[in-house]
Structures are given as structure tokens and as C-alpha cells.
Chain A
Amino acid sequence: MSTDLARSRPSVGAIWRRNLLVWAALLMLLVLTWTLAYVPLGAANLVVSLAIATIKVALVAVLFMELIHDSALIRIVAITGLFWLAVLFLLTFADVVTRPG
């Protein structure tokens, strides 16, 4: 099983640069979602803000949390958390939206 030690050693500058890029994207998405909150889009306001939040979460999970470098086993465990969250929402809403009256 290869470890981080087996890869060639990046410079401090290279480490900062690649992470600053992710951070810049996250901040731009923050400015975007904050700005769009003031634009009247009706029901789409919620969808848009959650979609942007999802992109931010994906950036943090894949790049900062390094899922991009991890083995399939780790990725499966990470996805599993989301899977069971989806089950929670699915079953909860299946109840709530189908209530009579």
C-alpha cells in the first residue's frame, strides 16, 4: 500500500498554491451565494443556495479532505454517510408529504 512518503516531495510553495486555489473558489462561491440571496428567484432561491453549498462541500471533501487521493474503500465509506442521510430524508419526506389534509 503506497503511502504519502512514497510520492515525490512537493515544495511548501506548491502546497500553498494548490490549496489557495481551492480556497479562492470557495470564497467566490460564498460571495455568489450571498449575493444571489438578495435576488428574488422565488422557490429557486433555496435550490440555488443549496446547490452552491453542495459544490462547496464537494470541493472541501474531494480536495481539502483528499478524497481525490484516497483508496476506493475510503471513498465508499464517505459516500455511505451520504447514502444513509438520503435514506433518512427519503423516508421522512415520504411520510410528511403524503399525509392527508
Chain B
Amino acid sequence: MTDAALREPWEEIGRQREAATLGIWVFLASEVLFFGGLFAGYAVARLLNGSEFIDAMRHTDIWYGTVNTAVLLTSSLTMAVAAQTAGAGYRSMARRCFVATAALGLLFLVLKGFEYHKDIVDGLAPGAQFMLRPAAAQVFFSFYWVMTGLHAVHLVIGIVLVSRLAVLSARTAFPLQSSPQIEVTALYWHLVDVIWIILYPLLYLGGRA
């Protein structure tokens, strides 16, 4: 009886799963370089712009940033439990954890939306109304909007993928225990969390002391 998740060209589900994991890690490595370019740009900007760059950081809202970090860390918890319970065949728990993960991702976006609104009202959005005088502040907030915006786009993709699994896992015909799709989605989700873990100190923690 061949596994329902088995596809060509693989003859054994274990090899297919290994191939899927390899493939997603190669993609994640490319994502690391993708954001890495922004990280390197930020590092150079911070180095070359001195104290005014860090002073600008005091205007980001550390409450939103910290709560959102906790939200994403918790979503990685539910995602890990979802993937592991799926692999062990606990369909109901896996489905509930997929739903929780997607919900936490949505919560992050909602909070981010409120934060962006506050940033705009405070005059921190790019444009003529930008209220901080130093040029270095403009540089910092350019990185803030681009890096958090790009992260949010990745998070939206992640929410769509996890929601798809929440729907699929409700169908008993879906081979939840052996399908490589769960691990692939989970690894992508954790990367989105990892990127935020790095963004948090870069965008929120400087200049507070």
C-alpha cells in the first residue's frame, strides 16, 4: 500500500520528506540573504550615521514591538506543536494548532496596523510631514518601514499557507502524518519569526538607556 502523500519521482516517502525539507531550507537560506541585504544596509547606516540614527529609534513604540515579538514567539510554539502532533497522527490537535498559529499571525498584523497608524499620526511616515529633523532619522525610518513592511508581506504569505493546512487537516483523506507539506510550511513560518527576532532589537531597543 503506497503512501497517499507519495509523489513521483520518489519511491519511498522518507526520501520525499527529506527532499522537501532540503528544498525548503535552500529557500530559507535565500530568504536569509534577502533580508540579509537589508540587515547589512542597516548596519552600515547605523555605523555611518552616529547618534542621531539611534536617537530616531526612540520614536518607535516599544510596547507594540515587544508584545508583537511575544505574539510571534507564541505562534512558533503553536506551529511546532502543530507540526509534531501532525507527524504523530493527532489530527484534531494539529488542526487546532494550525488555527491558533494563523490567528496569532493575524493578531500580529492587527497590532502592526494600529502601530503603523500611530506612527503616521506621530509624523514618522516618509513624506513632507516627517517630523524629525535630522537626516539620519529619515535613514532610520526608511529602514523601519521597509523592513517591517517586507516582513509583514512574508507574514501574510505564511498566514495563507497555515490557513490552508488548517482546512486540509480537517479532511481525513489528507495524509497528515506523512505529507511533507506540514514541515515545509512550519519551517517557513519559523523563519518569519526568526526575522522578527532579529528586527526587534534593531528597530526597537536602541537609544532607550
Contacts and interface: CB of A to CB of B under 8 A. Distances in A.
A binds B: yes
Interface in A26-67: 26-27, 30, 33-34, 37-41, 45-46, 49-50, 52-53, 56-57, 60-61, 63-65
A38 B2 CA distance: 58
Interface stretch (B26-34, B111-119, B146-154): B26-34
Given A1-B18, A77-B25, A81-B29, A88 B88 contact: no
Nearest to B13: A3
Mostly, the B contact residues are helix
Given A64-B76, A74-B22, A84 B33 contact: yes
Contacts, number: 148
A9 to B, nearest CB: 5
A68 interface: no
Contacts of A4: 17, 87-88
Contacts of B37: 88
Interface string A1-33: 111110001101001100110110011001001
Contacts of B39: 85
Contacts of A39: 209
A98 interface: no
Nearest to B23: A77
A33 B73 contact: no
B93 A60 contact: no
B46 to A, nearest CB: 8
B25 A74 contact: yes
A20 B77 contact: yes
A63 B66 CA distance: 22
Contact of A80 (B14, B29, B79, B84): B29
Interface in B3-55: 12-15, 17-18, 21-22, 25-26, 28-30, 32-33, 36-37, 39-40, 43-44, 47-48
Q: Which of B29, B39, B204 has the largest number of chain A CB atoms within 10 A?
A: B29
Given A5-B177, A16-B81, 15 more contacts: A2-B14, A10-B88, A15-B84, A22-B77, A30-B73, A37-B205, A38-B209, A49-B205, A53-B198, A60-B190, A60-B197, A64-B190, A65-B187, A74-B21, A81-B29
11 contacts: A15-B81, A16-B81, A27-B73, A30-B66, A56-B73, A74-B18, A81-B25, A81-B30, A88-B36, A88-B37, A96-B44
Interface of B: 12-15, 17-18, 21-22, 25-26, 28-30, 32-33, 36-37, 39-40, 43-44, 47-48, 62, 66, 69-70, 73-74, 76-77, 79-81, 84-85, 87-90, 93, 177-178, 186-187, 190, 193-194, 197-198, 200-201, 204-206, 208-209
